Amino acid sequence: MTFEIDDSFIDDQNRKARAWVDEDYEALARKLRRQNVDIEDLVKKAAAFHVAIPSWGVGTGGTRFARFAGEGEPRGIYEKLEDCGTIFKLVRSTPAVSLHIPWDKPDDASKLRAFAGTRGLSFDAMNSNTFQDQPGQTHSYKFGSLTHPDRLVREQAVAHNIECIEIGKTLGSKAHTVWIADGGNFPGQQHFQRALERYLESMREIYAALPDDWRVFIEHKFYEPAFYSTVINDWGTSYYCARELGPKAFCLVDLGHHAPNVNIEMIVARLIQFGKLAGFHFNDSKYGDDDLDAGSIKPFQLFLIFNELVDAELNSVANFNPAYMLDQSHNVTDPIESLMMSAVELVRSYVQAHLVDRDALNEAQEQCDPLLALATLKQAFTTDVAPILAVARERSGGAIDPLKTYRQSGYRRHKAKERPGQKGVTASGIV
Ligand code: RM4
Ligand code: MN
Ligand code: MN
């Protein structure tokens, strides 16, 4: 038997927080009523918001300099699912897990699915890995995978992606995300056009292997590990490829994969308008693909992104069914804590975006009143919706204060005993 946080423990902790939640909830309900907003509608919205946890996110991450292992880290996919189950239990907005293959390749996918089911978890998009060589692999990805000049390397990479889809079918997944590290470190290293042609050729084969009710997500990234050029460098290239591939191909936005200061919310709006938004890898960054916790550096940007998403939701835009996932690397925090708090930040932005007075915003836009337009957004962004989030969690069986409840439960201490011998283990990659 492994340690799990008991429902009754969560109830006890919640009882202690009752008084302030009730008081703050009532006060906020009154304030929102003045704005003609029913707080109960927002609680329902908050409870319905879901974001997937990446299987690789529950282990401690590292940088290219070092990795400092945490206590009681999960040692395999089953223990990772235990941690995902704990996150889900406390915050209630994370019912699905996204697997990276072969990092978390299951020996028996049906067995893994059944185990996940016992924790109330299901499986979200699959993720392939052709940015590393695996032991015993025939061809190297050192100079690329789906776009490699050598047909044999490309075939191997295509086969790997199809294998991911096969595993995903058994797990009940409905999407496959392809991020490739292909690119160049030196000017002249790659013929830009030929590389993109080869990408499309490979992706067509992967696309052909998709079941009817599946989608494929193209994830672009403008640099790293290739430092001069990447093949799928920006959303324009991603959009072009998604169009070329067909109706099951969409463009995924990872918040850390853009040049500094790029207007990401506008990219999101464009992809929504063109019916090609796949979804997100949420994280935050200051400099590059920092994979910091969502909402920790640029919370207003996160809100503005959700403002576009909620706008689309309210307008019932066609082909709008975004898949949400966190894609973060927790190098100095307990990954469970970071993932819980990040999920909470997403729900916060989502609820705040629902608070935007759309008629007022529209009016300000039509009247060319920039200041009033901004003030309308800021009014929503500066509203403290914490009581809504707390009540939504509690009503779905989660914790009013997930961080405190998690720490009080001693979960990590128990795992340190159950999962010994992990100290000092070095990472094989960036996560
Ligand atoms: C990449 C990208 C992918 C993720 C890998 C680990 O930068 O964000 O989504 O799978 O990192
Ligand atoms: Mn990503
Ligand atoms: Mn990334």
Q: What is the pLDDT of residues 371-394, one digit of tens each?
A: 999 999 999 999 999 999 999 999
- Position of tokens 């405190």? 404
Look at residue 119 and tell me whether its pLDDT is greater than 80.
yes
What's the CA gap between 90 and 231, in Å, rounded?
40
Average pLDDT for 304-319 = 97
The string of pLDDT tens digits covering residues 163-184 is 999 999 999 999 999 999 999 9
Task: Please give the distance, rounded to the nearest whole angstrom, from the Cα atom of residue 109 to the centre of ligand 1.
Answer: 23
What's the CA gap between 272 and 269, in Å, rounded?
5
Per-residue pLDDT band for 423 (boundaries 50, 70, 90) equals: low
| Nearest CA owner, ligand 1 atom 5 | 179
Would you mind telling me the total number of residues written for the chain in this entry?
A: 431
Pocket of ligand 1 contains residue 123 by CB under 6 Å: no
CB 278 within 8 A of CB 215: yes
Look at residue 230 and tell me whether its pLDDT is greater than 90.
yes
Pocket of ligand 1 contains residue 431 by CB under 6 Å: yes
The side-by-side arrangement of strands in the sheet containing 53-54 is 53-54, 96-98, 122-123
Cβ-proximal residues to 401 (8 Å cutoff; 6+ apart), any chain: 13, 17, 390
Q: Counting atoms of ligand 1 from 1, which one is nearest the CA of 221?
A: 7
Helix (H, G, I), strand (E, B), or coil: what is residue 351? helix
Mean of pLDDT over the chain? 97
Q: CA dist 90 to 44, 84, 369, Å? A: 17, 10, 43
Pocket of ligand 1 contains residue 83 by CB under 6 Å: no
Q: CA dist 315 to 2, 251, 408, Å? A: 46, 20, 43
Q: Counting atoms of ligand 1 from 1, which one is nearest the CA of 252?
A: 9
The string of pLDDT tens digits covering residues 330-358 is 999 999 999 999 999 999 999 999 999 99
Per-residue pLDDT band for 421 (boundaries 50, 70, 90) equals: confident
SS3 of 3-27:
CCCCHHHHHHHHHHHHHHHHHHHHH
Q: Counting atoms of ligand 1 from 1, which one is nearest the CA of 56?
A: 6
Average pLDDT for 50-64 = 96
- The number of the ligand nearest the C-alpha atom of 289 reads 3
Pocket of ligand 1 contains residue 254 by CB under 6 Å: yes
- The number of the ligand nearest the C-alpha atom of 103 reads 1
Q: What is the pLDDT of residue 217?
A: 99
Percentage of the chain beyond pLDDT 70 is 98
